[in-house]
């Protein structure tokens, strides 16, 4: 009996670790109009709830707290080399054992920060007939909550990508031959990110390839590049965050603001996710036509809401060049089916039924 219990514990542990090793998906389509209305000021009806500006202040404040912590750590440890300095950076921003998958900042936002998070019920667009055969290990993991940062609606996982994969990008950049041109090194980092999305952080474990993840990864790399040096890279211009004063003491020299880094590319409605296999795509597309309510209840489907007001649903779409941070053609070759609502729900405009007060 004891042996059986031990074996069960081992199997459970393996499953949990394996699940952590897979990509965490999200659903920014289900209840999108409700979420956007909520973040536009709807939570004024909730006593004591923070406004969008206050939420941004809370999120910015925690990043500035981490930067101050880093400056204090550097002052205490007095690194002699860039490698030692980066070890201090890693110690502040990365998880000690699962650096690729978890960041202390994302965990703080999820469990402690006084900010609103929206959790999609019933696995959203990845529910109903979607199963393990379609999404592999990702099917066992809850969807990432939705948050709005600096006016951009995104999955909470994007903040983790910015700090976790952003640091991995930064480390990969440093490992490249310094004799290569900046353009060649940037292309090598894009290839590295593409391989992650095809591999353990995307298709290999979930069947899904996310250009929005790559956008957050790239921005994170630039952030780590700008920690100690003014950054002038391609079209990016960012002043350093930490410098040494006339006495050699490390100090933060400017404030962090997510608005400097976040873009609409982090929103998976505006920057559609790609799916590897047609069977999963067909199941997800079918979910776009289901009522967005508990089974047996009638409510507008995702496509109903989109067709009623496409511009409100999608937002101010600017179609930026994704080649800055991704390899679009390789992404489409690996996962050819895009969850682009403009194509999935391309039918004439309809009027939604009015919700009746209960």
For position 346, what pLDDT does the model report?
A: 83
For position 263, what pLDDT does the model report?
A: 93
For position 12, what pLDDT does the model report?
A: 37
Q: Which of 206, 212, 202, 155 is nearest to 30 (CA)?
A: 155
For position 218, what pLDDT does the model report?
A: 97
Q: What is the pTM of this model?
A: 0.88
For position 8, what pLDDT does the model report?
A: 38
For position 134, what pLDDT does the model report?
A: 87
Output the tens digit of pLDDT for each of the chain's 358 residues.
Answer: 444 444 334 333 333 443 444 467 889 999 999 888 888 776 656 667 788 899 999 999 999 999 999 999 999 999 999 999 999 999 999 987 665 667 999 999 999 999 989 998 888 999 999 988 888 877 888 889 999 999 999 999 999 999 999 999 999 999 999 999 999 999 999 999 999 999 988 899 889 999 999 999 999 999 999 999 999 988 889 999 999 999 999 999 999 999 999 999 999 999 999 999 999 999 999 999 998 865 556 789 999 999 999 999 998 776 567 889 999 999 999 999 999 999 999 865 544 444 444 3
């Amino acid at each position: 009996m004891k042996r059986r219990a031990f074996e069960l514990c081992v199997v459970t542990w393996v499953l949990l670790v394996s699940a952590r090793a897979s990509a965490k998906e999200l659903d920014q389509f289900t209840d999108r109009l409700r979420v956007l209305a909520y973040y536009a000021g709807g939570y004024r009806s909730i006593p004591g709830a923070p406004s969008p500006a206050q939420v941004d202040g809370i999120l910015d404040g925690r990043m500035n707290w981490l930067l101050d912590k880093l400056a204090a750590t550097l002052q205490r440890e007095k690194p002699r080399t860039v490698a030692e300095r980066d070890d201090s950076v890693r110690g502040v921003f990365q998880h000690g054992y699962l650096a690729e998958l978890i960041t202390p900042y994302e965990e703080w936002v999820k469990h402690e920060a006084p900010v609103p998070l929206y959790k999609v019920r019933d696995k959203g667009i990845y529910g109903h007939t979607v199963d393990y055969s379609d999404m592999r290990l990702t099917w066992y993991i809850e969807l990432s909550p939705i948050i709005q940062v600096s006016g951009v609606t995104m999955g909470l996982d994007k903040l983790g990508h910015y700090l976790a994969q952003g640091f991995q990008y930064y480390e990969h950049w440093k490992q490249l031959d310094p004799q290569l041109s900046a353009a060649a090194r940037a292309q090598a980092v894009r290839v590295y990110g593409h391989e992650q999305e095809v591999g353990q952080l995307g298709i290999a474990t979930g069947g899904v390839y996310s250009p929005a993840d790559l956008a957050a990864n790239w921005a994170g790399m630039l952030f780590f590049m700008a920690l100690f040096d003014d950054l002038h890279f391609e079209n990016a211009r960012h002043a350093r965050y930490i410098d040494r004063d006339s006495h050699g003491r490390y100090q933060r020299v400017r404030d962090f603001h997510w608005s400097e880094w976040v873009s609409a590319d982090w929103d998976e409605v505006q920057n559609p996710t790609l799916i590897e296999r047609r069977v999963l795509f067909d199941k997800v597309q079918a979910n776009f036509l289901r009522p967005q309510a508990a089974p047996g209840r009638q409510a507008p489907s995702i496509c109903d809401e989109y067709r009623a007001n496409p511009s409100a649903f999608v937002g101010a779409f600017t179609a930026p060049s994704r080649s800055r941070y991704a390899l679009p053609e390789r992404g489409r070759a690996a996962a050819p089916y895009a969850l682009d609502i403009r194509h999935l729900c391309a039918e004439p405009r309809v009027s939604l039924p009015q919700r009746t007060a209960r």
